[in-house]
């Protein structure tokens, strides 16, 4: 019931707003500072796009509170155990070849509805991952381009398990003299999609994982909106370094 209300308000939201703007969905599982940077950039008009939904990886995360501030609808993923299939899923699976069971592993939206179906109905132009830790399955990648921001200079210091403080610890331990932020397209492998842009920062002798993370995060908040802006203006070419 709660879910139905959210979706209804989402469609009302589209109808009263400029439909020519790019429709952006953000996925987040953490504090949401990148989500906030993107939301600010859309609100100010820097990005010619509208964030029409936040998909929250779990309840209680900071990004949800930030979404309220911007009046952005939120959908919280549920993690039921055992995971129920949406009604009629097996029949639809046979008809469309969509693997609902795959999505049910942590990807059922509130009310038991399938997240894939919700995203397909919205038909966004871009999905941005902003501190979202789960792997994005092929079915979602087919809907529209998906971007991610990573707090290191890929292709180094990426892949499974390379998130949060683990990344900065690895960078410092390696003795690297620079780190930075990378915006990239997402494919089915963690942190392996085409690199769009990077911004570098020096790693200072006195840096620890916390100071390095803060320094990189500051750059992330500028780099991500810049990339999304170019995408929304149709100026982005894959693999082009900004
Ligand atoms: C950022 O460092 C981002 O690069 C990584 O996850 C972190 C999310 O931080 N993917 P926040 O939730 O946006 O503050």
To the question of pTM greater than 0.85 for the whole model, the response is no
Which pLDDT value is given to residue 136? 86
Which pLDDT value is given to residue 163? 92
130 CA distance to ligand 1 middle (Å) = 6
Which pLDDT value is given to residue 85? 58
Which pLDDT value is given to residue 15? 37
CA-closest residue to ligand 1 atom 1: 131
Which pLDDT value is given to residue 6? 35
Q: Give the position, in ligand 1's atom list, of the atom nearest the Cα of 63.
A: 12
Which pLDDT value is given to residue 1? 28
Q: Give the position, in ligand 1's atom list, of the atom nearest the Cα of 181.
A: 4
Ligand 1: residues with CB < 6 A are 28, 30-35, 130-131, 149-151, 217, 220
Would you call 150 a catalytic residue per the annotation? yes
What fold does the segment set 2-232 form as a domain? Rossmann fold (3.40.50)
Mean pLDDT by 10 residues, the chain (242 residues): 33 44 95 97 98 91 95 81 58 55 46 74 96 86 95 95 95 98 92 94 98 98 97 74 46
Which pLDDT value is given to residue 26? 97
Given the residues 150, 165, 184, 221, the one annotated as active site: 150
Which pLDDT value is given to residue 165? 95
- Per-residue tokens: 56: 């929250």
Which pLDDT value is given to residue 226? 97
91 CA distance to ligand 1 middle (Å) = 38
Which pLDDT value is given to residue 16? 36
95 CA distance to ligand 1 middle (Å) = 38
Alpha carbon distance 119, 53 (integer Å): 10
Which pLDDT value is given to residue 105? 44
Q: Give the position, in ligand 1's atom list, of the atom nearest the Cα of 151.
A: 4
149 CA distance to ligand 1 middle (Å) = 7
Q: Give the position, in ligand 1's atom list, of the atom nearest the Cα of 130.
A: 13
Query: Ligand 1: which of 32, 151, 218 to mutate, judged by most atoms within 8 Å of the beta carbon?
Result: 151
Task: Choose among 109, 100, 7: nearest CA to 58.
Answer: 109
Which pLDDT value is given to residue 110? 53
Would you list the domain boundaries of the chain? Answer: 2-232
**DSSP secondary structure letters along 12-34:** HHHHTS-TTSEEEEEEE-S--HH
Say if CB 48 and CB 17 are below 8 A apart: no
Which pLDDT value is given to residue 134? 82
């Amino acid at each position: 019931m709660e879910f139905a209300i959210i979706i209804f308000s989402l469609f009302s939201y589209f109808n009263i707003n400029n439909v020519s703007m790019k429709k952006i969905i953000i996925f987040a599982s953490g504090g949401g500072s990148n989500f906030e940077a993107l939301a600010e950039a859309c609100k100010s008009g820097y990005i010619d796009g509208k964030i029409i939904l936040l998909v929250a990886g779990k309840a209680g995360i900071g990004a949800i509170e930030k979404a309220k501030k911007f009046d952005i609808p939120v959908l919280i993923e549920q993690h039921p155990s055992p995971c129920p299939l949406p009604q009629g899923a097996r029949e639809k699976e046979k008809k469309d070849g969509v693997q609902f069971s795959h999505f049910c592993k942590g990807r059922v939206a509130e009310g038991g509805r399938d997240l894939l179906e919700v995203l397909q109905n919205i038909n966004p132009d871009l999905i941005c991952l902003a501190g979202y830790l789960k792997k994005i399955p092929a079915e979602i990648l087919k809907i529209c381009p998906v971007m991610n921001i990573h707090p290191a200079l890929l292709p180094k210091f990426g892949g499974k398990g390379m998130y949060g403080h683990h990344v900065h610890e690895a960078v410092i331990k390696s003795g690297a003299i620079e780190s930075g932020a990378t915006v990239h397209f997402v494919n089915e492998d963690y942190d392996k999609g085409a690199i769009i842009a990077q911004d570098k920062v020096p790693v200072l002798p006195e840096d620890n994982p916390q100071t390095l993370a803060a320094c990189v995060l500051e750059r992330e908040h500028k780099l991500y909106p810049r990339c999304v802006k170019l995408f929304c203006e149709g100026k982005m070419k894959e693999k082009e370094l900004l």
